[in-house]
Chains A and B, each alone.
Chain A
Amino acid sequence: MKNPSFDWEKLKDVFYRNRAIGELKWPTQYEDFRCALSLTVIAIEIQDFIQIYNYFGQLLDKINLLKIHEDIIKFEFDKDEKLILVTKRSIKIVKSWSPLTIESVPLEDSILDTIWDYHDGIMLLNESRDIYKLSGNEWELLYKNKDMKYNLLTKNHWSCNGDIIILLDIDHVYQVSTLNGILLKLMADSSWHKVTISSKGFICLYNMKYNKLQVFKDPTRILMEHDLDSIPDNICWCGNDTIACSFEDEVKLYGPDGLYVTFWYPFNVTNLRSEIDGLKVITTEKIYFLSRVQPQTSNIFRIGSTEPGAMLLDSFELLEDHAPKAIEIMKNFALEKGVLDCITAAVDEFQPKFQKILLNAASFGKASLQYKSFDANIFVDACNTIKLLNCFRSFGIFLTAEEYKSMSLKGVIDRLLAYRKYYECIQICKLAGKQSLLGYVFTKWAKDKIKSSSDMDDNELLETIKSRLSVIRVMDTIKMVSISKVAYLEGRFQLSRDLALLEKNEESKIEQLFNLDDDSLALKESIKVQNPSLTVSLLVALSKKLTNSQLTKLLILDMINNPLYLYYMRRDKAYLYDFYRQTDQFVDLAHVLLQQGKEQQFLHNFLPQIKDLYSKVQNNEMVHDIVEQLQRQEKLWVYQESLGKRFGISFIDMTLDQTLSKLIETGQDKEVKEIVKKFKVNEKQLYHLKCRMLVETRKFDELLQFAHSKKSPIGYMPFYRYLKTRGHIKEAASYVGMISGLSYQERKKLYVECMSFRDAIQLAGKERDIAGLKEIYNAIPANEPEAKAFANETMSTI
Chain B
Amino acid sequence: MNKFWNTRKFSLANAAGLCATLNEISQNDEVLVVQPSFLPILNSLLTFLELTESTPVRKIALLNDQLSDDLSLARGSVPQMDLVFLVDVRTSLQLPSELLDAAKKHNLSPLHIIYCRWKTSFPKHSMDSEQGQKDGYTLDITEPRFPNIIESQLSEISNEYFLYPLDLLPFPQIDDNVLLSHSLYNMEDVNMYYPELRPLQNATESILVDNMVNCLRGLIFETNSIITNVVSIGNLSKRCSHLLKKRIDEQQTDNDTFIKGTLYGERTNCGLEMDLIILERNIDPITPLLTQLTYAGLLDDLYEFNSGLKIKEKDTNFNYKEDTIWNDLKFLNFGSVGPQLNKLAKELQTQYDMRHKAESVHEIKEFVDSLGSLQQRQAFLKNHTTLSSDVLKVVETEEYGSFNKIIELELEIMMGNTLNKDIEDIILELQYEYEADKKKILRLICLLSLCKNSLREKDYEDLRTFIIDSWGIDKCFQLESLTELGFFTSKTGKSDLHTISTRPTRLQKEYRYISEWLNTVPIEEEHAAGKSTNEQEEFVEATFAYSGVVPLTTRLVQMLYDRSILFHNYSSQQPFILSREPRVSQTEDLIEQLYGDSHIIEESRWVPETITKKINASIKRNNRQSVDGSKGACHAAEDIALVVFLGGVTIGEIATLKHLQKKLSKKGINKRFIIIADGLTNGDRIMNSIS
Q: Using a CB–CB distance below 8 Å, which chain A residues touch chain B?
A: 408-410, 435-437, 440, 476-477, 479, 481-482, 504, 507-508, 510-511, 514, 530-534, 536-538, 540-541, 561-564, 566-568, 570-571, 580, 585, 587-588, 591-592, 594-595, 598, 603, 607, 620-622, 625-626, 629-630, 632-633, 655-657, 679-682, 684-685, 688-689, 692, 714, 718, 721-722, 725
Q: With contacts A562-B206, A629-B468, A656-B470 known, is A621 near B496, CB below 8 A? A: yes
In the complex with contacts A566-B199, A688-B428, A722-B433, A540-B152 CB distance below 8 A: yes
**Contact assessment for B140 and A655 in the assembled complex, using a CB-CB cutoff below 8 Å:** no
The reply to whether the CB of B537 lies closer than 8 angstroms to some CB of chain A is no
**Chain B: which residue is nearest A537 at the CB level?**
B149
- The distance from the CB of B58 to the nearest CB of chain A, in whole angstroms, is 32
Q: In the assembly, what is the distance between CA of A562 and CA of B468, in Å?
A: 32
Chain B contacts with A in 465-497, Cβ cutoff 8 A = 465-466, 468-474, 476-477, 480, 483-484, 492-493, 496-497
Q: Are A532 and B93 in contact (CB under 8 A)?
A: yes
Provided the pairs A537-B146, A562-B206, A685-B428 are in contact, do residues A477 and B198 lie with their beta carbons within 8 angstroms? no
Q: Which of B141, B149, B200, B468 contacts A566 (CB 8 A)?
A: B200
Q: Report the bound CA distance from A122 to B252 in whole Å.
A: 47
C-alpha spacing A391/B328, complex, angstroms: 67
Given A564-B203, A633-B473, A714-B428, is A688 in contact with B433 using a C-beta cutoff of 8 Å? yes
State which residues 432-479 of B face A: CB under 8 Å: 432-433, 462, 464-466, 468-474, 476-477
Q: Which residue of A lies closest to B94 (CB)?
A: A568
Q: Are B94 and A684 in contact (CB under 8 A)?
A: no
Partner of A536, one of B149, B200, B473, B492: B149
Q: Are B137 and A440 in contact (CB under 8 A)?
A: yes
Query: Is A568 within 8 A of B493, CB to CB?
Result: no
Question: Is B76 engaged at the interface, CB distance under 8 Å to the other chain?
Answer: no
- Least Cβ–Cβ distance between A664 and chain B, in angstroms: 13
Residues of A within 8 A of B141 (CB): 479, 508
CA gap between A390 and B199 in the complex, in Å: 66
* CB–CB A622/B483 < 8 A: yes
What residues on A are CB-neighbors of B465 within 8 Å?
Answer: 629, 680, 682
Report chain B residues within 8 Å CB of A725: 398, 433
Q: Which residues of B contact A633 (CB under 8 A)?
A: 468, 473, 476
Which one of A514, A595, A688 lies within 8 Å of B197 (CB-CB)? A595
Q: Provided the pairs A598-B474, A685-B469 are in contact, do residues A479 and B140 lie with their beta carbons within 8 angstroms? A: yes
Decide if A563 touches B202 in the complex (CB within 8 Å): yes
Interface residues, chain B, with chain A CB atoms under 8 Å away: 89-90, 93-94, 97, 128, 131-132, 135-137, 140-141, 145-149, 151-153, 196-200, 202-204, 206-207, 209-210, 243, 250, 254, 398, 424-425, 428-429, 431-433, 462, 464-466, 468-474, 476-477, 480, 483-484, 492-493, 496-497
* Pair A562/B469 contact, Cβ less than 8 Å: no
With contacts A410-B136, A626-B480, A692-B432 taken as known, whether A510 is within 8 angstroms of B197 at the C-beta atoms is: no
Question: A591 contacts B199, CB within 8 Å?
Answer: yes
Residue pair B206, A530 in contact (C-beta under 8 Å)? yes
Given A540-B149, A655-B469, answer yes or no on A629-B464 (Cβ-Cβ < 8 Å): yes
Contact call B207/A567, Cβ cutoff below 8 A: yes
- Ordered by A's residue number, 13 sampled pairs between the chains whose C-beta atoms are within 8 Å are A435-B254, A477-B137, A508-B146, A563-B202, A567-B203, A591-B198, A603-B473, A621-B492, A622-B480, A622-B497, A656-B470, A714-B425, A718-B432
Shortest Cβ distance from residue B315 to the other chain A in the assembled complex, whole angstroms = 32
Taking a contact as CB atoms under 8 Å apart, the answer to whether A622 and B128 are in contact is no
The answer to whether A657 touches B428, judged by C-beta atoms less than 8 angstroms apart, is no
Do residues A507 and B145 form an inter-chain contact, with CB atoms below 8 A? yes
Residues on A with beta carbons closer than 8 Å to the beta carbon of B147 = 537, 541
CB <8 Å contact, B243 and A530: yes
Partner of B477, one of A594, A620, A689: A594
The answer to whether A541 touches B203, judged by C-beta atoms less than 8 angstroms apart, is no
Apart from A570-B197, A681-B469, A685-B466, what are 15 other A-B pairs with CB-CB below 8 Å? A436-B131, A436-B132, A530-B210, A564-B206, A567-B204, A571-B94, A591-B477, A622-B493, A622-B497, A626-B476, A629-B473, A633-B473, A655-B468, A688-B431, A725-B398
Q: Is the CB of B200 within 8 A of A567?
A: yes
Inter-chain contact A408/B476, CB cutoff 8 Å: no
Cross-chain contact of B146 among A440, A514, A718 (Cβ < 8 A): A514
A721 and B433 contact, Cβ closer than 8 Å, known pairs A630-B476, A633-B473: yes
Minimum CB–CB distance from A606 to chain B (whole Å) comes to 10
A566 touches B131 (CB 8 A): no
In this complex, the member of B149, B469, B484 whose beta carbon has the largest number of chain A beta carbons within 10 angstroms is B469
| Smallest CB gap from A592: residue in B | B197
In the bound complex, CA of A532 to CA of B186 (Å): 14
Interchain CA distance A536-B90 in the complex, whole Å: 12
- A-B interface, 7 closest residue pairs, ranked by CB to CB distance from nearest: A656-B469, A567-B203, A688-B432, A511-B146, A588-B199, A540-B152, A564-B203
A532-B203 in contact given A657-B469, A682-B462 (Cβ < 8 Å): yes
Q: Are the C-beta atoms of B146 and A655 separated by less than 8 Å?
A: no
Q: CA–CA, A430 to B497, complex, Å? A: 59
Give the shortest distance, in Å, between B288 (CB) and chain A (any CB).
24
Would you give the shortest CB distance from A327 to chain B, in whole angstroms? 36
Output the nearest chain A residue to B242 by Cβ-Cβ distance: A530
Contacting residues, chain A, for B484 (C-beta < 8 A) = 622
A429 CB to closest chain B CB (Å) equals 12
Flag if B433 contacts A607 (CB, 8 Å): no
Residues of A within 8 A of B480 (CB): 622, 626
User: How far is the CB of A411 from the nearest CB of chain B, in Å?
Assistant: 9
Which residues of A lie under 8 Å from residue B151 when comparing CB positions? 537
| Assembled-state Cα–Cα distance A568/B200 (Å) | 10
- Whole-angstrom distance between the Cβ of B285 and the nearest chain A Cβ: 19
Q: Which residue of B lies closest to A633 (CB)?
A: B473
Contact partners of B473 in chain A: CB under 8 A: 603, 607, 629-630, 633, 655
A482 (CB) vs chain B CBs: closest residue: B140
CB-nearest residue of chain A relative to B246? A530
Residues of the A chain whose Cβ atoms lie less than 8 Å from the Cβ of B196? 595
Question: How far is the CB of A450 from the nearest CB of chain B, in Å?
Answer: 15
- Residues of chain A with a CB closer than 8 A to B97's CB: 571
Whether the pair A603, B474 counts as a contact (CB closer than 8 A) is yes
Question: What CA separation (Å) do A228 and B57 show in the bound complex?
Answer: 74
Q: A566-B200, A591-B197 are in contact. Are A533 and B148 (CB under 8 A)?
A: yes
Q: Is the CB of A620 within 8 A of B496?
A: yes
Residues in B neighbouring A721, C-beta threshold 8 A: 433
Q: A561 and B202: CB pair below 8 A? A: yes
Contacting pair A567 B93 (CB below 8 A): yes
Q: Kindly provide the distance from the CB of B504 to the nearest chain A CB, expressed in whole angstroms.
A: 13
Give Cα distance in the complex from A633 to B149, angstroms: 44
Tell me whether B428 and A684 are in contact (CB under 8 A).
yes
Using Cβ atoms and an 8 Å threshold, which residues of chain B touch A682?
Answer: 462, 465-466
A102 to chain B, nearest CB (A): 21
B429 CB contacts on chain A under 8 angstroms: 688, 718
CB distance from B391 to the nearest CB of A (A): 22
B140 touches A481 (CB 8 A): yes
Q: How far is the CA of A685 from the CA of B141 in the complex (A)?
A: 71
- Measured between beta carbons, the chain B residues less than 8 angstroms from A620 are 496
Among A541, A603, A655, which residue has the most Cβ atoms of chain B within 10 A? A655
A620–B432 alpha-carbon span in the complex (Å): 34
**How far is A626 from B468 in the complex, measured between Cα atoms in Å?**
11
- For the complex formed, measure the closest distance between the CB of B76 and the CB atoms of chain A, giving whole angstroms: 32
Residue of B nearest to A410 (CB): B135
Q: Give bound CA distance, A541 to B151, whole Å.
A: 10
Residues of the A chain whose Cβ atoms lie less than 8 Å from the Cβ of B472: 655
List of B residues within 8 angstroms of A714 by Cβ: 425, 428
User: Which residues of A lie under 8 Å from residue B492 when comparing CB positions?
Assistant: 621
Q: CA separation between A541 and B144, bound complex, in Å?
A: 14
How close is A77's CB to chain B, nearest CB, in angstroms?
A: 19
Is there contact, CB below 8 Å, between A621 and B149?
no
List of B residues within 8 angstroms of A541 by Cβ: 146-147, 152
- Cβ of B206 to closest chain A Cβ, rounded Å: 5
Chain B neighbourhood of A504, CB < 8 A: 250
CB-CB under 8 A from A595, the residues of chain B are: 196-197
Find chain B residues with CB under 8 A from A571 CB. 94, 97
